[in-house]
Amino acid sequence: MKRAVTILTLAAASAQLMNAQFGGIFDKAKSKIDRTQQKAKPVSDRAEKAVENFTAWTPEEEQEIGEATAAKMIAMFGIIETPPLVRYVNLVGQSVAQYAPRQLPYRFGILDSDIVGAFALPGGFIFITKTALEGMTNEAQLAGALGHEIVHVAERHLENAIRSKKNSSWAVEEAKTKTSSMTPELVRRRADAFLLEMFNMRLSRDKEDGADERGTLMAVQAGYAANGLLEFLRTLAVVQAKPETQRAFGQLLSTHPPFDERVNHLSPIVEKSDKSGKTLEARFRSTVK
């Protein structure tokens, strides 16, 4: 009996001690969570409001945001300035862009980056990296890759995805400044938010497949061989298999489906396409060297 009383007393004392020691921690944690929820609510409310008020950018807004994001991309990576190369990429891009579903002043630039990639920005600013260009062997491949990016811009893929993502840095930024006029500072902030999302966002599978498909068809309409983009994706699938190339492909693979899956989707479309298109390998080699 005496023993039982001792055990009970000890247990009660331990419970008191435990409560004194950890009870405070639990209370603090709970109140911290409550405070965070309270603090976050207005931000998410504003983001939701932005999504509810979703309307496509006006052409002026799209241009301004495009210019600001393009300037930032150039600041980050640098741009190739060799005139014949720049002129050539623009001519190939324009040849394809003539068939774009939405006409914009499409402009093409080569980023001085060691990563393999291409980027479509609002307002028709399209960039391809010099390393991606180095991996191509003919003009049809370049036309197909640029066609893919043109589709993203023309169909507003990134704009729609970013603006419909609740709580994204873009949505919050847009909501906070919804009623403000577009000052240079505001445009810069929106450009920052846009790029942050762009580098981290994976577009839906159907958007990427659609861009491969319709980009290829636009290149075919322009007179290029249908297998341009497909061949380039096959090259990338082989090179990417080497472990030391992860750094060059990390960005592309974190935002796009795997190359072999894209090849599987595109192959039957290319099979059915017109076979009379040009690859223009000699012209490509004479400029891209």
Partner 1 sequence: MEQALACSFEFFQQAARPNKLPKHLRGKIADVKPFLPWLLALATLAMAQQGSEKKKDAPPPEPAPAPLFKSKLGYKSSKTTKESTTLGFNGIDPSGKVDKQMLATTPTTADQANVKKMSDNRPTDTDLKAFVKEGGLNAK
CB-nearer residue toward partner 1: 44 or 188: 188
The SS3 call for residue 197 is helix
Tell whether residue 61 is a contact of partner 1 (CB under 8 A). no
Task: Please list, in sequence order, all residues whose beta carbon lies within 8 angstroms of the beta carbon of residue 35, skipping any fewer than 6 positions away.
Answer: none
| Region from 18-26, 49-57, 131-139, 148-156 binding partner 1, contact rule CB under 8 A | 131-139
CB-nearer residue toward partner 1: 35 or 127: 127
Tell whether residue 288 is a contact of partner 1 (CB under 8 A). yes
Task: Please list, in sequence order, all residues whose beta carbon lies within 8 angstroms of the beta carbon of residue 101, skipping any fewer than 6 positions away.
Answer: 151, 154, 155, 214
Query: Using CA atoms, how far apart are residues 69 and 194, in angstroms rounded to an integer?
Result: 8
Find the binder of partner 1 among 43, 172, 209, 250 (CB under 8 A).
250
Tell whether residue 86 is a contact of partner 1 (CB under 8 A). yes
> Which residues are paired to 108 by β-bridges?
126
Find the binder of partner 1 among 46, 50, 122, 130 (CB under 8 A).
130
Find the binder of partner 1 among 80, 151, 171, 211 (CB under 8 A).
80
Tell whether residue 90 is a contact of partner 1 (CB under 8 A). yes
CB-nearer residue toward partner 1: 51 or 239: 239
The SS3 call for residue 109 is strand
The two tokens of residue 107 are: 């402009």
Which residue is listed with tokens 């958007």?
Answer: 207
CB of 150 to partner 1, least distance (A): 14
- The neighbour count for residue 57, using CB atoms within 10 Å, is 17
| Region from 160-168, 171-179, 240-248, 264-272 binding partner 1, contact rule CB under 8 A | 240-248
Find the binder of partner 1 among 43, 51, 85, 186 (CB under 8 A).
85
CB of 25 to partner 1, least distance (A): 32
Helix (H) or strand (E) holding 3: helix 2-18
CB of 202 to partner 1, least distance (A): 13
Find the binder of partner 1 among 104, 162, 217, 222 (CB under 8 A).
222
Query: Using CA atoms, how far apart are residues 90 and 92, in angstroms rounded to an integer?
Result: 6
Query: Using CA atoms, how far apart are residues 118 and 215, in angstroms rounded to an integer?
Result: 13
Task: Please list, in sequence order, all residues whose beta carbon lies within 8 angstroms of the beta carbon of residue 200, skipping any fewer than 6 positions away.
Answer: 254, 255
Tell whether residue 186 is a contact of partner 1 (CB under 8 A). no
Note whether 109 and 136 are within 8 A (CB).
no
CB-nearer residue toward partner 1: 47 or 280: 280
- The neighbour count for residue 275, using CB atoms within 10 Å, is 10
Which residues contribute to the site for partner 1 (CB under 8 A)? Answer: 67-68, 70-72, 74-82, 85-87, 90-91, 94-95, 98-99, 105-110, 112-116, 125, 130-131, 133-135, 137, 139, 192, 195-196, 199, 221-224, 239, 244-254, 278, 280, 283, 288-289
